[in-house]
Structure 1
Amino acid sequence: MERQSLQFHLLGSNQTSNYKDKSWRSKALCFFLCFFTISIVGLIIGGNLTTWVLRGENNFNERIRVNDAEIVESEQGVVAADDGRCSEIGASMLRQGGHAVDSSVATALCVGVVNPMASGIGGGAFMIVRSSSTSKTQAFDMRETAPLAASKVLNIFDSYGTSVAAKGNLGVHRLIEALKHMFAVRMNLGDPKFVDIKKYVSEMLSPSYAKQIRTMIVDDTTFPPEYYMNRWSQLRDHGTSHFCIVDAERNAVSMTTTINYGFGAGMLSPSTGIVLNDEMGDFSAPTEITPDTLPPAPANFIEANKRPLSSMTPIVVTKNDQLVGVLGGSGGMDIIPAVVQVFINHFILGMEPLTAVQSPRVYHKLMPNIVKYENWTVIDGDHIEIAEETKLFLTEKGHKLEGKAAGAMVQLVVQSLQKPVEMGRKNGRDSNNGQIFHGTLTAVSDPRKDGRPAAV
């Protein structure tokens, strides 16, 4: 009964009359969405869509050929989604000369079809787009506030002044401590249109503030939650989907989409058939009884037209104005720890891209004061678990450990800056001036979800 009432609030009190009296624009939109979705479904399950070009063919008369490898390389463009069929559909747009953003639209629609419990056009997203022609990066907020928490953790590691600080078991201990500090302050954030967060944003991006936090990280021990000065209950957001795209001209997209809970609000719009999201669950409520006994965060209280806080962390990495990498993840509160660990593994510790993604991860939410470590056999049969010596080391530092048969999924694309690729003219267009570096692209989809990347 309560759900039925909520449905009408979301759709409007006069939904019946509106539904019967739609404007031509609404009908056109519905037709477009239905046509595009049916096209995507046709590509996934097989069919005869002569308007689609795949692998240079003019007709598509068979199922999508999904790459079996967990890693691909290309000089022309790559897509890394958490479903191989969607990676392939995104790559097909690039083969036709499409921009990375064109590919992201097709990929996102595909993910909404094959993974409707976690993604869809009825939900929200956060997208980072980098233009190779202008060397500018833009953040498109289609739901959330910016993922500054990841910056805070990386700044803390940067304050050590050496990559050695992130190595080995001691590096894992320091990471856990940095995560606990991050979770203690992130709930001060909220929609900047409604809450003044300048002070907290400035601190999270400040190297000097990171050094202050680093002095509180002790290599010999860990501490109870109150040591980290946490004030508010944590946001416990839910399922998402992430993909990374780089095209031939080195435009890049890092995009995370979500409808929050499994199948969102559990309701379909009667006019479009779109699964409605449940993003209201990502707000804090003044009357909320929280599992960690802390009060709910006022900065994230619900208000009309306000956007809730999020753990989504899409990232584009550059060096000397050249594209170096694209990454991001899905998995609610686990996203930030997972993305940070993959970033550290590759860009700081120098692991190969596939190893950086496959390596076992640890997670912490500050409360309860427990380190969750991966201990599970994933879809492809591989077992992922941190080493016994790492467990012993962390236990000796005072950490309480608990195995976890789950975790966030991370997609990664990196560009080698060692060997430039001579692009010349492609698809009838100039490949841009010589200032844009074209190296080999390597794409990895997380095997934890049996994802597969695709190359042009």
Structure 2
Amino acid sequence: DVFCDSNKRPLKENETIRFVTLADTYERIAWEGPDVFYNGTLAEDLVKDIQAAGGIITLEDLQKYRALLDESPIRIDLGGFTMHTTNAPSSGPVLALILKILKGYNLTAESVSTTEKKILTYHRIVEAFRFAYARRSLLGDPRYLNITDLINDMTSDAFAEDLRRKITDNMTQPESYYEHYYLAPNNQGTTHISVLAEDGSAVSATSTINHYFGSKVLSQRTGVLLNNEMDDFSSPNITNSFGVAPSPSNYIRPGKRPVSAMNPAILTDSDGSVKMVVGAAGGTMITTATALVILNSLFFNYDLTKAVEYPRIHNQFNPSTVEVEKSFDTNVLNGLKQKKHLTEAMYNNAVVQAVLKQAGSLYAESDPRKGGYPAGY
């Protein structure tokens, strides 16, 4: 009824999808307040549809659910800019560690001014990716785990400097060199929006239902497309397809939230005014794509369109191959291969949404890798 026309033919690109039942649900929430979704008849309808599809969520589960507000997000100094991003169980600490490691190289436009300099810069970027992702699977829900020391490490200059000293400029290293722990799951059904208002307030928001179409279950009574976020957890004694053990930090517990690849970010100037609002959708590639756009814009001085569109690379440590977009500089790619990086073509990438304030003007960019366009007034 939602994804097909009146003849039961699947809708094509640019045809209109109408979530009529979902619109009715939103209208009820708008008029009656959010409590109707967690305690009222909407909750009852949703639970009935979940259980009819084989789910085990109860009305009590919905009533107990609380959205959590973290008023002390991660803040890191990037030299002239301060980045504000989400804490665990998101991947904000991973983004922070990547940029902290690279901060020590004092990257500028000069760092990518020649092929040789680009090769070295991108090698260092990949190595920062690897060291940061090697620690990603230690993350979990801080309400259930004591990861204070881990977060302090991943956001500290001293820890980043220690890792940076381990990066060898002549070649990459075997997996054991990076002190890897476990593999984190991927997610794909994600979307992001970056907003900067005329009064200077900013929003960077990422949401996800995990996989494409989530659990592939649509509540007929409410119109809600149900997620499969449970897949973001690890399960004991279940080894993934790479032969890597699951992460105990991310085991399932009642009320616990799983590790997520999301890391929306806001960057501010030295005077505290918003400089950039950025974030992405695209599973584990979210973090590397966001880091690259920040580097491209604020460190390499690319204009925002170029910063977002510029060909990307990705490495999440496991698998160890560097994924490369087809349009990536061949000379730089060959240089990475000479430094012993294993490479392969990238068939999917994260999509970044960014807003930049520069010289009193606002610039916005919606990643052309996925449909959409920036809007303003």
Contact 1:128 1:255 in 2 (8 A): no
Q: Tell me the residue number matched to 1:33.
A: 26
Q: Are residue 355 (structure 1) and residue 355 (structure 2) matched?
A: no
Q: Are residue 280 (structure 1) and residue 273 (structure 2) matched?
A: no
Q: Are residue 261 (structure 1) and residue 211 (structure 2) matched?
A: yes
Q: Are residue 366 (structure 1) and residue 317 (structure 2) matched?
A: yes
Q: Of the candidates 326, 334, 352, which is equivalent to residue 277 of structure 2?
A: 326
Q: 1:271 Cα shift? A: 3.0
CA separation of 1:266/1:329 partners in 2, compared to 1, >3 Å: closer, same or farther? same
Q: Are residue 413 (structure 1) and residue 355 (structure 2) matched?
A: yes
Q: 1:261 Cα shift? A: 1.0
Q: Tell me the residue number matched to 2:156.
A: 206
Distance 2:84 2:171 in 1: 40
SS for the counterpart of 1:181 is: helix
Q: Please tell me the residue identity of whatever aligns with 1:449.
A: K
Q: Are residue 337 (structure 1) and residue 288 (structure 2) matched?
A: yes
CA separation of 1:295/1:165 partners in 2, compared to 1, >3 Å: closer, same or farther? farther
Q: Tell me the residue number matched to 1:221.
A: 171
Contact 1:127 1:140 in 2 (8 A): no
CA separation of 1:353/1:34 partners in 2, compared to 1, >3 Å: closer, same or farther? same
Q: Tell me the residue number matched to 1:447.
A: 368
Q: 1:368 Cα shift? A: 2.0
SS for the counterpart of 1:442 is: strand
Q: Tell me the residue number matched to 2:340.
A: 398
Q: Identity, % of aligned pairs?
A: 31
Q: Please tell me the residue identity of whatever aligns with 2:299.
A: I
Distance 1:327 1:313 in 2: 9
CA separation of 1:215/1:164 partners in 2, compared to 1, >3 Å: closer, same or farther? farther
Q: Please tell me the residue identity of whatever aligns with 2:148.
A: K
Q: 1:291 Cα shift? A: 2.0
Q: 1:450 Cα shift? A: 2.7
Residues 324-362 of structure 1, C-alpha deviation per residue, up to 9 Å, x if partnerless? Answer: 010000000110010000000001111100000010000
Q: Please tell me the residue identity of whatever aligns with 2:281.
A: S
SS for the counterpart of 1:187 is: helix
Q: Are residue 303 (structure 1) and residue 253 (structure 2) matched?
A: yes
Q: 1:31 Cα shift? A: 4.3
Contact 2:83 2:265 in 1 (8 A): no
Q: 1:387 Cα shift? A: 1.1
Q: Are residue 194 (structure 1) and residue 144 (structure 2) matched?
A: yes
SS for the counterpart of 2:335 is: helix
Q: Please tell me the residue identity of whatever aligns with 2:108.
A: S
Q: Tell me the residue number matched to 2:95.
A: 150
Q: Tell me the residue number matched to 1:379.
A: none
Q: 1:395 Cα shift? A: 0.8
Q: Are residue 238 (structure 1) and residue 188 (structure 2) matched?
A: yes
Q: Please tell me the residue identity of whatever aligns with 1:264.
A: G
Q: Tell me the residue number matched to 2:131.
A: 181
Does 1 or 2 have the higher relative contact order (CA < 8 Å, sep 6+)?
1
Distance 1:454 1:311 in 2: 26
Residues 53-86 of structure 1, C-alpha deviation per residue, up to 9 Å, x if partnerless? Answer: xxxxxxxxxxxxxxxxxxxxxxxxxxxxxxxxxx
Q: Please tell me the residue identity of whatever aligns with 1:454.
A: A
Distance 1:220 1:357 in 2: 29
Larger CA deviation: 162-171 vs 335-344: 162-171
Distance 2:172 2:110 in 1: 17
Larger CA deviation: 287-296 vs 273-282: 287-296
The correspondence of residues 9-88 of structure 1 with structure 2, limited to 5 A, is 31-34=24-27
Distance 2:241 2:110 in 1: 34
Contact 1:181 1:213 in 2 (8 A): yes
CA separation of 1:334/1:275 partners in 2, compared to 1, >3 Å: closer, same or farther? same
Distance 1:445 1:248 in 2: 19
Distance 2:309 2:70 in 1: 24
Q: 1:237 Cα shift? A: 2.2
Contact 1:187 1:235 in 2 (8 A): no
Larger CA deviation: 279-288 vs 233-242: 233-242
Q: Please tell me the residue identity of whatever aligns with 1:218.
A: T
SS for the counterpart of 2:238 is: coil
Contact 2:171 2:339 in 1 (8 A): yes
Contact 2:264 2:280 in 1 (8 A): yes
Q: Please tell me the residue identity of whatever aligns with 1:336.
A: T
Structure 2 segments unaligned to the other structure (5+ residues): 1-21, 31-61, 73-81, 113-117
Distance 2:174 2:83 in 1: 39
Distance 1:228 1:125 in 2: 35
CA separation of 1:389/1:278 partners in 2, compared to 1, >3 Å: closer, same or farther? same
Residues 8-41 of structure 1, C-alpha deviation per residue, up to 9 Å, x if partnerless? Answer: xxxxxxxxxxxxxxxxxxxxx984515799xxxx
Distance 1:243 1:212 in 2: 34
Contact 1:145 1:307 in 2 (8 A): no
Contact 1:157 1:166 in 2 (8 A): no
